[in-house]
Amino acid sequence: MKLSIRLIFVTVLLVTLNACGPVSDPTRMTTADTALETQAVIAEQSGDYNAAGQFYLELATSTVGQLQAQSYLRAALAFWQAKDDLLSSDSLSKVQRQVLSAAQQIDAAILEAEIAQFRQQTEQSLTSLANIDLNKASKAQTIQVLTLRANAYQITENWLEKANSHLALAKLLSDDQQAQNQVDLWQALTSLTPQALDLFNPGIPPAVDSGWFALAYAITAYQNNPEALLVALEDWKRNYPNHPADPALYQKSIESGTQLPQQLADIAILLPSTGPYAEAAAAIKQGIIAAHYSQNSPTKLHFFDVETDTGTGQSNVWQRYQQAIAMQASIVIGPLSKESIQTLVDADTLDIPVLALNRVSNTIHKNNLFQFGLAPEDDATTAADFALNQGYSRAVILSPQNEWGKRIASAFSDKWIANGGTVLKEAFYQEADNDFSTTITSLFGLDASQQRYQALKQRLGQSLEFEPRRRQDIDFVFLIARSSKARQLMPQLKFHRSGSLPIIATSHAYAGFANSQQDIDLNDLKINDIPWIFEQSAANDPAYLALNNNNDANFNSIVRLYALGADAYRLIPKLNGLSRSPSTTFNGATGELSINENGQIYRKMLPATFVNGVIKPIAITNQ
């Protein structure tokens, strides 16, 4: 929960508690220790919430009934302000809520829900919130409840209920709070399908709530057809003339994104046939062709050879791009090398869209340029999201001492911290080594355990039974390693007492083809990989089957490149919509695809684990 919401909660709760005097029944309570209560209030006012909580606990032990319940509730709140969820939860569990006023019972339920969300126990949080009767809640309490519900529905991806929560909030928030609420509402609505938006529209024109659903319907239903979208928006404006929606929310859907026609006549594909990228380009080309023929499309494919002068290092990609324009191609797929993509980035304008097959920057934005590839950063962010879904919060990272390892580790750390997680430690290994004992013992804190043993042995002057003990605050290990190195690292991690500690890696830990004898060492390792890695996920895909049948010997080793080519082709009819809404997704061969505001195509992959040396997909469940 945001700090501002937390402060509102504190203020409302303190007012509620202070306003409630003791009941007259002497068998239900005793007189409070005024001096102790004063100390608690002073500690709160000075920001020493931990001390305040301890004072309130002491006060609770000397009272009974309603006053005791209030003291425990105040202690729970103070510890929550001190960011101690354990003491806060423990104090809250001692509150006899039935003796509190209705308002105080709501305060207790709100705090319970907030603690549950902090612990990523989303369903428990929603259960606590469901028990609150908003008809008995104050305006401030209602805002807190609706905000917590919206946060929980965001985590569980229940977009309809999230949208309904924001619609209810809109009637309560001040003018300066409305803008962010509209952004959050819009994100929820545009995550729904057009069918759901039409089915669950809560009213008819010109009702405000109905207008939100109708506007989101127009955007999502016609995002692939810009001309139809303009007509739909004009119709919406006539039906909802005074609607409060900020035009900036939907104006981008008109002005940005591609303007590709529904039927494409020609596609230009820019790939090298020689040089270091030639082998990868050949596999991508086959993927494009397989996807094309599986759809029986009348669109014509035109392949242009992109070459780089070995002497000057200059690419002919710009000349090839001009040829694509001259032949009136609707879009360009490629190029593949970063140097060639940078040439297009540096151009003044790009007259037709480019779906590049690599990534040169995560932050650059250029109209008509989309960066798509098998970027390892996607593996890292998918791993961070998977770990969050599992309820983990504290990670350690083990990565190779090179630029590739640092790049993935950095992407993971950024996403993990953004998810609210903590990186306890990061350790590096040399890929040329085979013995990683020193690195692992340091990562797990085993060296510190050994040092404590030696110090104790020296003080006592005698030998002791000793077994090194790893640090116990680690929730999981994020491992960055290629397949051969992962097979070496996993047994050594287990030898050094990783025990049942979850180990999550990127797809690079799996070679891409079944080898149970070698991969037995990967047992229990969790990775994320593309759907085409799992036969059961791709068995009905005609492009997958065609490539598998025609390339039996090499299929598994380059399946990810085949998938990249297939998705590059299949993305084209989806670009109008994807380029207008970061929340819109497309389920492809390389993962669940979306496009961010910089034109970067992000891949969310499928989780899997190794059982008896065989990779097995695992189900995702929301916590």
Specify burial of residue 334 (Cβ count, 10 A radius: 0-12, 13-18, 19+): buried
pLDDT for res 470: 53
**Domain end position, chosen among 229, 255, 281:** 255
Q: Does residue 320 belong to any structural domain of this protein?
A: no
Residues 43 and 148 in one domain: yes
pLDDT for res 621: 53
Residues 507 and 408 in one domain: yes
- CATH at 207: 1.25.40.650
Nearest 5°: phi and psi at 271? -140, 150
| Other beta carbons within 10 Å of 163 | 29
Q: Does residue 223 belong to any structural domain of this protein?
A: yes
pTM of the model: 0.71
Euclidean distance between CA atoms 448 and 137, whole angstroms: 52
Q: What is the 3-state secondary structure (H, E, C) of 504-564?
A: EECHHHCCCCCCHHHHHHHCCCEEEECHHHCHHHHCCCHHHHHHHHHCCCCCHHHHHHHHH
pLDDT for res 498: 60
Q: Does residue 116 belong to any structural domain of this protein?
A: yes
Residues 203 and 179 in one domain: no
Residues 160 and 192 in one domain: no
Residues 145 and 212 in one domain: no
pLDDT for res 155: 87
Structural domain boundaries enclosing 234:
185-255
Residues 219 and 153 in one domain: no
Q: Does residue 553 belong to any structural domain of this protein?
A: no
Do the Cβ atoms of 389 and 623 come closer than 8 Å?
Answer: yes
Euclidean distance between CA atoms 147 and 95, whole angstroms: 24
Residue 592 β-bridge partners: 587, 604
Q: Does residue 44 belong to any structural domain of this protein?
A: yes
Euclidean distance between CA atoms 369 and 252, whole angstroms: 17
> What token pair was written down for 180?
């962010």
Q: Is 264 helix (H, G, I), strand (E, B) or coil?
A: coil
**Domain end position, chosen among 227, 255, 283:** 255
Q: Does residue 270 belong to any structural domain of this protein?
A: no
pLDDT for res 579: 87
**Domain end position, chosen among 183, 203, 238:** 183
pLDDT for res 526: 96
pLDDT for res 468: 54
Residues 388 and 528 in one domain: yes
Ranges in the chain, pLDDT < 50? 1-5, 7-8, 10-12, 14-15, 18-29, 447-449, 451-457, 464, 466, 622-623
Euclidean distance between CA atoms 422 and 448, whole angstroms: 21
Residues 12 and 72 in one domain: yes
Residues 74 and 148 in one domain: yes
Residues 56 and 160 in one domain: yes
Pairing of strands 606-611, 526-529: antiparallel
Counting the structural domains of the chain, the total is 3
Handedness of CA 63, 65, 69, 74 (dihedral sign): negative
Residues 506 and 391 in one domain: yes
Q: Does residue 422 belong to any structural domain of this protein?
A: yes
Q: Does residue 384 belong to any structural domain of this protein?
A: yes
Do the Cβ atoms of 443 and 427 come closer than 8 Å?
Answer: yes
Do the Cβ atoms of 559 and 533 come closer than 8 Å?
Answer: yes
Residues 80 and 130 in one domain: yes
Angle formed at CA 566 by CA 560 and CA 571, multiple of 5 degrees: 120
In 190-308, where does DSSP find H-type helix? Answer: 194-199, 208-221, 226-239, 247-255, 278-294
- CATH at 423: 3.40.50.2300
